[in-house]
Amino acid sequence: MKATKLDERFFESTRGRIVTLLRGTTHTVEELAVKLELTDNAVRAHLATLERDGLVRQSGVRRGLRKPHYVYTLTPEAEQLFPKAYDLLLDQLITVLKGRLAPGEIEGALREVGRRLAATRFSGLQSDDLEERLQKALKAIEALGGSAQIEKRDGKVFLRGRSCPLAAAVTAHPEVCQLAETLIANIVGAQVQEQCDRSEQPQCCFEIDGA
C-alpha cells in the first residue's frame, strides 16, 4: 500500500484505531483485543490486513505466562497517515508575509521555494523525453501530498490535479500556486501556466507550453 494521508473515517474504523493505539508504542494481540473489546482472532485478522498494506509489522516477542506473544508496531510509512500541521503553518506564514512584503516580493519568495524544491528534492539528469519529465512532475506533486494526471487535449498538454496538496492555503492565498507552477516548470524544463481551480475544493491545473 502506498502511504497517503487518510480521512477521519479511517481513524474511526477498527484498523484506524489499531494504528492510533500503536503510534509511538507496541502492543500484543491480547493487549489490543482488551483495548478494542474484540476477540484475539478479530484483532489478528485486522493486523494481517495492516501488515499486508505495509502499515504494521512484528517487532519482537514478549514473554508470557504460558507462551510468548508477538509484539506489533507501526512501520515508518504508517506515520505519513497522520494529519500534519503543515497546511495551517503555510496559511499563517503567507498571512505574515503579506503583512511585511510587497506583492512582488511574496511572488519572488514563493517562486524561489519552487526552484529550490526542484533543485534539491527532485533533481537528477534531465531527460530528453518529455513523457519522462512529465512523469517526474507527477511524482513531485504526489510527494507533496497531491494527485494528478497527464491530460492531452487540442494539441496541448496539461497536468490536471484530482486534489491539491496546498488546498488549505490556496483559497485565501492564490499566489501559492506560483510555487507549484515554478516547481513543475523547473522539472519539465518548459514554460508552465497555472490554471488552477481555487473554489471550495481546489484542484491543480498546469498547461505545459511547447509540449
pLDDT score at 129: 85
Q: 52: domain CATH number?
A: 1.10.10.10
* Same-domain status, 91 and 170: yes
* Same-domain status, 126 and 175: yes
* Same-domain status, 76 and 145: no
Domain final residue pick, 29, 47, 81? 81
* Same-domain status, 95 and 145: yes
Q: In angstroms, what CA-CA distances link 127 with 19, 136, 164, 210?
A: 40, 10, 26, 16
* Same-domain status, 70 and 117: no
Residue type, position 11, single letter? F
CA distance 102 to 99: 8
* Same-domain status, 110 and 62: no
pLDDT score at 211: 57
* Same-domain status, 140 and 75: no
* Same-domain status, 93 and 135: yes
Q: Does residue 136 sit within a domain? A: yes
- Range(s) of the domain holding residue 65: 8-81
* Under-50 pLDDT residues of the chain: 1-5
* Same-domain status, 102 and 187: yes
pLDDT score at 3: 43
Looking at the structure of the chain, the number of domains it has is 2
* Same-domain status, 138 and 77: no
Which of 17, 83, 25 shows the shortest CA–CA distance to 50?
Answer: 17
- Please, which residues have CB within 8 angstroms of residue 27's CB and are 6 or more apart in sequence? 21, 35, 71, 72
pLDDT score at 8: 65
pLDDT score at 10: 83
CA distance 89 to 95: 10
Which of 55, 59, 61 shows the shortest CA–CA distance to 75?
Answer: 55
Q: Does residue 199 sit within a domain? A: yes
